[in-house]
């Protein structure tokens, strides 16, 4: 595959992507842009990323490698799903009472 045909090789910038997910055969997962590992069990891994919270659900999940200096995580196991939380910026005048009474 030529450099121009590779994903993300648009030639606009040589900077690495701030966030990316690669899932291979639902068994091997690599995530770039990880800022914090919130929780992890054999069934769920919850990560803070540059684009919000990422929840990974599956079975026999194991974190093989995590390096927060390079924002890189590698996990293995049976991945059933990936879900991002919605991030909604709060208005400066939005108070607790306004949010409760919507």
50 occurs within a structural domain: yes
46 occurs within a structural domain: yes
102 occurs within a structural domain: no
Q: What is the CATH number of the domain that holds 68?
A: 2.60.40.2000
97 occurs within a structural domain: no
55 occurs within a structural domain: yes
Sequence-ordered list of residues with C-beta below 8 angstroms from that of 5, at least 6 positions apart, any chain: none
Per the document, the length of the chain is 102
Residue range(s) defining the domain that contains residue 45: 18-85
73 occurs within a structural domain: yes
Query: Average pLDDT in the 2-29 region?
Result: 67
> How many domains does one find in the chain?
1
44 occurs within a structural domain: yes
What does residue 32 show for φ and ψ, rounded to 5 degrees? -115, 140
2 occurs within a structural domain: no
Query: Average pLDDT in the 43-55 region?
Result: 93
pLDDT in tens, 51-96: 899 999 999 999 999 999 999 999 999 999 999 997 655 555 556 6
């Amino acid at each position: 595959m030529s450099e121009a045909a590779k994903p993300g090789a648009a030639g606009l910038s040589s900077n690495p992507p701030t966030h990316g997910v690669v899932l291979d055969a639902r068994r091997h997962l690599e995530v770039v842009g990880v800022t914090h590992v919130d929780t992890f069990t054999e069934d769920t891994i919850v990560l803070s990323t540059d684009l919000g919270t990422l929840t990974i659900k599956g079975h026999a999940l194991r974190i093989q490698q995590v390096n927060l200096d390079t924002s890189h995580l590698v996990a293995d196991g049976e991945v059933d799903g990936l879900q991002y939380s919605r991030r909604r910026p709060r208005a400066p005048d939005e108070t607790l009472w306004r949010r409760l009474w919507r």
